[in-house]
């Protein structure tokens, strides 16, 4: 019997239980997935307690979401390369009595991009990321791993500088940073047509209930390339709709959500992500 769970706050609308229950069924395993909603005032006590439960083998895997993806790193014993590089943990497991912090967001993003926008596999591409928060770091890490030029546009330049510095300290980069207003500057590198562009929204702009907002001007101009929106609620954001109207292939973030969960499940159970992925995708399709 497996015991998994999710740490975060708030957790009311999480799709993780639906995803992991579908994976358990598809893998023919018995188990349960619990929500551990930890208010920030209790985090310093409850996070180390939950990790101790994992260390003792009473839990077999935990996911971590907002607002604890960075904070939880203070209590892990080891970090995988992906977690260290992204500077965030979304998956925890124990091995030989040590709690390991891992990150499946970056790999989940890349798996979904290459399956749903397969033209990117013909690289190199230029990556253009909107936003400089936690998810942007996972996306930028993916772009740098591909060896592609990575650009970040952010409304707070100090946050963009922190992101670029984080990768530079790890010998990864450079990350080119630009102010938010530079998105439509005709002289910007993403309008130069030397490389096709993978344009990624890593901000919450356009997410329910603010569905009329778009992180990119809907009337364009658009770079030549493809578009990916990390937002998955709604599936078709105003940004995605406008990109498709401009004849750019575009994908929403639900696939990344499913992939990151399937890759976490693989870490916990050893069951290959491709075995459980179709059932997980089908399960969330009904909820989106
Ligand atoms: N599909 C998936 O599997 C997946 C995985 C992870 C995240 N996500 C989604 O990705 C989005 C970002 O998540 P996150 O964890 O990176 O959040 P985060 O750490 O809070 O970062 C959000 C980023 O967006 C910027 N931003 C917010 N509102 C903005 C606005 N109106 N204009 C310009 N920039 C704005 C923020 O800038 P400020 O700091 O200045 O506000 C920050 O740079 C969320 O919608 C989340 O649901 C999806």
pLDDT digits 0-9 by tens, 232-248:
999 999 999 999 999 99
Each as own residue / partner, the long-range contacts of residues 217-221 (CB below 8 Å, 24 or more positions apart, any chain) are 217/183, 217/184, 218/242, 220/246, 221/184, 221/186, 221/191
Question: What was the pLDDT predicted at 123?
Answer: 83
Question: What was the pLDDT predicted at 254?
Answer: 96
Q: Read off the pTM.
A: 0.96
Question: What was the pLDDT predicted at 286?
Answer: 78
Question: What was the pLDDT predicted at 173?
Answer: 86
Q: Verify whether ligand 1 is closer than 6 Å to residue 232 (CB atom).
A: yes
Q: Verify whether ligand 1 is closer than 6 Å to residue 257 (CB atom).
A: yes
Q: Verify whether ligand 1 is closer than 6 Å to residue 208 (CB atom).
A: no
- Residue 222 Cα, ligand 1 centroid: separation in angstroms? 21
Choosing from 155, 162, 216 the residue with most ligand 1 atoms within 8 A of its CB, the one to mutate for a pocket test is: 155
Give the start-to-end residue ranges of the domains of the chain.
Answer: 2-103+255-285, 118-248
Q: Return the H-helix or E-strand segment holding 151.
A: strand 150-154
Nearest to 37 by CA among 63, 71, 61, 57: 63
Report the alpha-carbon distance of residue 4 to residue 121 in Å, rounded.
Answer: 34
Measured between alpha carbons, how far is residue 256 from residues 7, 95, 176 in Å? Answer: 19, 26, 24
Nearest atom, ligand 1, residue 260 CA: 3
No. of helices (H) and no. of strands (E), the chain: 9, 12
Domains 2-103+255-285 and 118-248 share a fold: yes
Choosing from 71, 132, 135, 211 the residue with most ligand 1 atoms within 8 A of its CB, the one to mutate for a pocket test is: 135
Query: Which CATH number, 3.40.50.300, 1.10.3210.10, 3.40.50.10860, 3.40.190.10, labels domain 2-103+255-285?
Result: 3.40.50.10860
Q: Verify whether ligand 1 is closer than 6 Å to residue 279 (CB atom).
A: no
Fold classification of 118-248 (topology level): Rossmann fold (3.40.50)
Which residues of the chain fall short of a pLDDT of 70? Answer: 288
Measured between alpha carbons, how far is residue 97 from residues 2, 104, 175, 228, 281 in Å? Answer: 17, 21, 37, 39, 33
Q: How far out from the chain centre does Cα 115 lie?
A: 16
């Amino acid at each position: 019997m497996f015991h998994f769970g999710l740490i975060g706050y708030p957790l009311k609308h999480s799709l993780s239980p639906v995803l992991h229950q579908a994976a358990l069924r598809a893998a023919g395993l018995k188990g349960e997935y619990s929500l551990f909603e930890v208010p920030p005032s209790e985090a310093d006590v409850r996070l180390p307690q939950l990790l101790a439960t994992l260390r003792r083998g009473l839990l077999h895997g935990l996911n971590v979401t907002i607002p604890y993806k960075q904070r939880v790193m203070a209590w892990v014993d080891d970090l995988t390369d992906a977690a260290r590089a992204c500077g965030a943990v979304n998956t925890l497991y124990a091995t030989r009595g040590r709690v390991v912090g891992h990150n499946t967001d970056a790999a989940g993003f890349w798996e979904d991009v290459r399956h749903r926008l397969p033209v990117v596999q013909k690289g190199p591409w230029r990556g253009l990321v909107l936003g400089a928060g936690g998810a942007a770091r996972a996306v930028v890490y993916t772009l740098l791993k591909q060896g592609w030029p990575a650009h970040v546009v952010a409304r707070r330049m100090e946050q963009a500088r922190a992101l670029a510095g984080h990768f530079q300290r790890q010998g990864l980069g450079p990350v080119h940073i630009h102010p938010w207003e530079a998105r439509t500057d005709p002289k910007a590198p993403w309008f130069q047509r030397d490389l096709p562009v993978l344009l990624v929204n890593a901000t919450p702009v356009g997410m329910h209930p603010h569905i009329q907002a778009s992180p990119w001007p809907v009337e364009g101009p658009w770079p030549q390339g493809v578009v990916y929106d990390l937002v998955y609620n709604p599936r078709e954001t105003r940004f995605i709709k406008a990109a498709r109207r401009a004849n750019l292939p575009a994908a929403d973030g639900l696939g990344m959500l499913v992939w990151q969960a399937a890759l976490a499940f693989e870490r916990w159970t050893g069951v290959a992500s491709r075995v459980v992925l179709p059932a997980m995708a089908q399960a969330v399709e009904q909820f989106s």
